[in-house]
Amino acid sequence: MKLAATANAGARLDRLPISSFHRRILWLIGIGMFFDGFDIYVAGAVLGGTLKSGFSTMSQNAEFVSVTFMGMMLGAFFTGFLGDRYGRRFTYQANLAVFGLASLAAAFAPSMLVLILLRFVMGVGLGAENVVGYATMTEFVPPQARGKWLGIVSVFVVSGLPVTGLLGTILIPRFGWRIMFVLGGVGAMVVWYLRKALPESPRWLESVGRVKEADAILCAIESEVSLHHAPLPDPAPTRSAIHSRGLGSLLGPVLLPRMIVGASTLIVVNTLIFGFVTWLPTFFVQEGLSIASSLSYSLIISLGAPLGTALGAFTADSWGRKPTIIGASLLTIVIGSVYPLVKDPAMLLVVGFLLMIPIYVLVAVLFAIYIPELFPTEVRMRAAGICNTFGRGATILTPFIVVALFRSYRVKGVLGFLIALLIVQILVVLRFGVEPKKRRLEELDSTVMS
């Protein structure tokens, strides 16, 4: 076979039917992302145990949470540059090793200060995994199924929330809080070993001029898929209007509006999670519930999270990204307006559960699907990393804003702030958003906004 000047990677991948190859990629990336979610949410289970045992104080617990966000912000930023420079495969293996080994070390931390330092290292790996996992999956899945499959990856991540809560409830009273870090670390290292078989992204290889390597991987993928889906259709020719791999292209007329969309929407969705969802136990206690009742309420309400991400996964391809984002934002506004008015405990559970669903539809569509699609392969991870940096950075300020609003206006003030952000999000997506539904990634690199 004579090698062309281009491997035509995008077109060759996009014309492949969904097969065992895609399912293997989904599981290898998805399980790693599950442990990413597990380690993100582990703070809620662990910090109660460290506090009760006298290992930590309230101020140290606050430092633990703060350094997690700082680490995730730095991890999201730097992984973008690493991923575009050294490849997707190197980057996702490196960050998985970082948070896996740091988690194992945390299980043996001799003091809270050491645990806080290790949590910062974990945060770097966690922030990186979130960016590279979604970006890598984006580059393998054909456009007709991309939304659904990326949304399923998000379900893996969000499932860490109820699983962490459940395991913490069962294991921490018997074995102590350290067992949670053992589980997260061992799981991450097992996935690290399994992921060694995951191929590099042919799209990335082609974008950096490594055409021969891209073609070899593509031929292997095509051979595997053709065993069950022969004959394969001919690939379409690829045309891309964006050729710059420099950061300057992110400030150009095509990509700057997309950067605005990416940064603003991730600020909003991170604020929803860390300004409302993670504060639910505190809100309940402040409203007069016992801590046990508060945790039970929060666990039941959190079950709406995987349901919301699943709904986002299965509607993004049929409804489109922009309609799903706008519709979920409006639904969050409506239910969020009702939530502070509910006083009956049973109805509070129902309304809280319903509120989680559109919030986590937004989590699935924005984190997993929409943001990685907005940018060309040459700068995809840098752009997604910068957008995630803005989103993670917002979480550093969120606790202070939430506390101030709650003290003055209770839950109504917090939700009023979130509703205002959601209105801004709707306007930004309507004005600057593109619609990637069932469109090839290379087609989205055009100068035409839609």
Domain co-membership, 384 together with 260: yes
The half-sphere exposure of 46 on its side-chain side, counting CA atoms within 13 A, is: 29
**Is 4 inside any structural domain?**
no
Domain co-membership, 143 together with 23: yes
pLDDT of residue 241: 43
Domain co-membership, 175 together with 310: yes
* Per-10-residue mean pLDDT, the chain, length 450: 66 92 93 88 80 83 84 90 89 90 96 95 89 91 90 88 82 89 94 89 91 94 88 70 61 90 94 76 60 65 87 89 95 90 82 90 92 89 92 82 83 88 96 89 61
**Is 350 inside any structural domain?**
yes
Q: What count of other Cβ atoms lies within 10 Å of the Cβ of residue 95?
A: 29
With the CA atoms of 46, 385, 74 and 419 taken in that order, what torsion angle do they form, in degrees rounded to the nearest 10? Answer: -60
Residues 420 and 401 sit within 8 Å (Cβ to Cβ)? no
Q: How many domains does the chain have?
A: 2
- Here the CATH number for the domain that contains residue 366 is 1.20.1250.20
pLDDT of residue 158: 85
Domain co-membership, 171 together with 320: yes
**Is 11 inside any structural domain?**
no
Domain co-membership, 394 together with 304: yes
- Structural domain harbouring 272: 18-198+243-445
pLDDT of residue 239: 56
**Is 87 inside any structural domain?**
yes
Q: Which residue has the tokens 């014309």?
A: 15
Domain co-membership, 36 together with 179: yes
Measured CA to CA, the distance from residue 445 to residue 326 in angstroms comes to: 23
Domain co-membership, 107 together with 185: yes
**Is 68 inside any structural domain?**
yes
pLDDT of residue 300: 81
With the CA atoms of 302, 303, 307 and 313 taken in that order, what torsion angle do they form, in degrees rounded to the nearest 10? Answer: 50
**Is 352 inside any structural domain?**
yes
pLDDT of residue 66: 81
Domain co-membership, 217 together with 306: no
pLDDT of residue 413: 87
pLDDT of residue 299: 73
Residues 61 and 148 sit within 8 Å (Cβ to Cβ)? no
**Is 2 inside any structural domain?**
no
Which pair of tokens denotes residue 171? 């294991």
pLDDT of residue 199: 92
Residues 73 and 393 sit within 8 Å (Cβ to Cβ)? yes
Domain co-membership, 269 together with 388: yes
Domain co-membership, 53 together with 153: yes
Domain co-membership, 101 together with 119: yes
**Is 117 inside any structural domain?**
yes
Q: What count of other Cβ atoms lies within 10 Å of the Cβ of residue 103?
A: 29
Measured CA to CA, the distance from residue 395 to residue 268 in angstroms comes to: 10
pLDDT of residue 341: 83
Domain co-membership, 180 together with 254: yes
Of 166, 126, 165, 97, nearest in space to 37 by CA: 126
Residues 38 and 184 sit within 8 Å (Cβ to Cβ)? yes
Measured CA to CA, the distance from residue 18 to residue 56 in angstroms comes to: 49
